[in-house]
């Protein structure tokens, strides 16, 4: 068996694949080249940088599996792959803690003006009086999507003495001190809103949703680009309806939305939610084991 790894894998993952007798090439290809080379392989492992549309799947005449190192599989035409008998593997929990920690990195950055203070100090400015922030303790955080990442985020928030409201389309039971409620209730009563929902055909947060939020609300998106419409968010930042936004994921990546990333009320990162050494190791180990087990069962 031989697989193509387009977006890298940790050394631990490589060792697991080698011990399982699976050969692999590690090289990134753009779409046109990927279509040309994929017929050589029985499997493909991607992260977020590589897309696996129907054209790639059809070209992969020997494909027996498609794997994604990470949670979301929206960059793979997974419905089509599964419809023709090709399993699609992923690692939904391996990077959860890393993503949750980035949520709070953005929250603290926004609440204490860290990006702005950093930039102005580098310009030899001492704007101490301009950066009167707010505390997170005692505030209400609304968590949209209460899967693994949402639940870890809730634990961290509770540790900071925050009140937690949560919404999920599934009927999730939890022992945490969290109020499970409606989307509308979360929108209306949260000081901070963090998104942990999959990408859908339409944005999860629309202009109507933002209008329901508190004035000055902070919005954090470490989920998927397009969960919040970027134009709607920019308009809300400019009108001061939204007091700040922490954004790790973008409608287009790399993003060309300079107006949004350079906005003074935005804390911006280039899709680094899972980019910790620990998460990369966990992802590599988990996906390599799943690939080995799947090949053995075929």
Q: Looking at the structure, tell me whether residues 106 and 131 fall in a common domain.
A: yes
Cβ atoms 29, 56 nearer than 8 A: no
Q: Which tens digit of pLDDT belongs to each residue from 79-93?
A: 999 999 999 999 988
Q: Which tens digit of pLDDT belongs to each residue from 186-220?
A: 999 999 999 999 988 899 999 999 999 999 999 99
Q: Looking at the structure, tell me whether residues 159 and 114 fall in a common domain.
A: yes
Q: Looking at the structure, tell me whether residues 264 and 281 fall in a common domain.
A: no
User: In a 10 Å sphere around its CB, with 0-12 CB exposed, 13-18 middle and 19+ buried, how is residue 29 labelled?
Assistant: middle
Query: Of 40, 125, 184, 252, which residue is the catalytic one?
Result: 252
Q: Looking at the structure, tell me whether residues 55 and 147 fall in a common domain.
A: no
Query: Of 224, 230, 263, 282, which residue is the catalytic one?
Result: 224
Q: Which tens digit of pLDDT belongs to each residue from 114-141?
A: 999 999 999 999 999 999 999 999 999 9
Q: In terms of residue numbers, what domain contains 155?
A: 96-268
Q: Looking at the structure, tell me whether residues 196 and 64 fall in a common domain.
A: no
Our count of domains for the chain comes to 2
Cβ-based neighbours of 29, under 8 Å, separated by 6 or more: 6, 37, 50
Q: Looking at the structure, tell me whether residues 103 and 17 fall in a common domain.
A: no
Which CATH number do you get for residue 133?
3.40.50.720
Q: Looking at the structure, tell me whether residues 136 and 236 fall in a common domain.
A: yes
Residue 48 has pLDDT above 90, yes or no: no
Q: Looking at the structure, tell me whether residues 127 and 80 fall in a common domain.
A: no
Catalytic, 122? Answer: no
Catalytic, 252? Answer: yes
Q: Looking at the structure, tell me whether residues 85 and 123 fall in a common domain.
A: no
Q: Looking at the structure, tell me whether residues 137 and 50 fall in a common domain.
A: no
Percent of the chain with pLDDT over 90: 96
Give alpha helix (H) positions in 190-276: 207-212, 230-238, 258-261
Catalytic, 196? Answer: no
Query: Of 47, 271, 282, 286, which residue is the catalytic one?
Result: 271
Q: Looking at the structure, tell me whether residues 37 and 20 fall in a common domain.
A: yes
Q: Looking at the structure, tell me whether residues 169 and 148 fall in a common domain.
A: yes
Tell me the pTM: 0.90
Q: What is the mean pLDDT of residues 274-287?
A: 96
Instruction: Give the whole-angstrom CA distance, residue 215 versus residue 224.
Output: 24
- Residue count of the chain, please give it: 298
Instruction: Give the whole-angstrom CA distance, residue 279 versus residue 274.
Output: 6
Residue 71 has pLDDT above 90, yes or no: no
End-to-end CA distance of the chain: 11
Place 72 in a pLDDT band, splitting at 50, 70 and 90: confident
């Amino acid at each position: 068996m031989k697989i193509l790894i387009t977006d890298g894998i940790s050394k631990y993952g490589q060792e697991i694949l080698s011990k399982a007798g699976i050969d692999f090439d590690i090289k990134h290809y753009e779409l046109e080249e990927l279509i040309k080379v994929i017929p050589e392989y029985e499997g493909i492992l991607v992260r977020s940088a590589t897309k696996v549309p129907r054209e790639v799947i059809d070209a992969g005449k020997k494909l027996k599996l498609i794997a994604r190192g990470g949670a979301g599989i929206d960059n793979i035409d997974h419905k089509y792959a599964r419809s023709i008998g090709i399993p699609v593997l992923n690692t939904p929990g391996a990077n959860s803690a890393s993503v949750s920690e980035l949520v709070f990195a953005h929250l603290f950055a926004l609440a204490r003006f860290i990006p702005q203070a950093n930039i102005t100090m580098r310009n030899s400015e001492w704007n101490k009086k301009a950066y009167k922030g707010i505390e997170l303790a005692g505030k209400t955080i609304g968590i949209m999507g209460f899967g693994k990442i949402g639940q870890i985020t809730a634990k961290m928030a509770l540790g900071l003495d925050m009140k937690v409201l949560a919404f999920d389309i599934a009927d999730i039971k939890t022992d945490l001190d969290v109020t499970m409620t409606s989307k509308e209730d979360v929108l209306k009563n949260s000081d901070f809103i963090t998104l942990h929902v999959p990408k859908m055909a339409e944005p999860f947060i629309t202009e109507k949703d933002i209008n329901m939020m508190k004035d000055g609300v902070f919005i954090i998106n470490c989920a998927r680009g397009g969960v919040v419409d970027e134009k709607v968010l920019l308009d809300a930042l400019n009108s001061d309806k939204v007091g700040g936004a922490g954004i790790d994921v973008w409608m287009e990546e790399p993003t060309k939305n300079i107006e949004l990333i350079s906005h003074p009320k935005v804390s911006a990162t280039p899709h680094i939610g899972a980019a910790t050494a620990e998460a990369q190791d966990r992802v590599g180990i988990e996906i390599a084991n799943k690939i080995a087990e799947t090949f053995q069962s075929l």
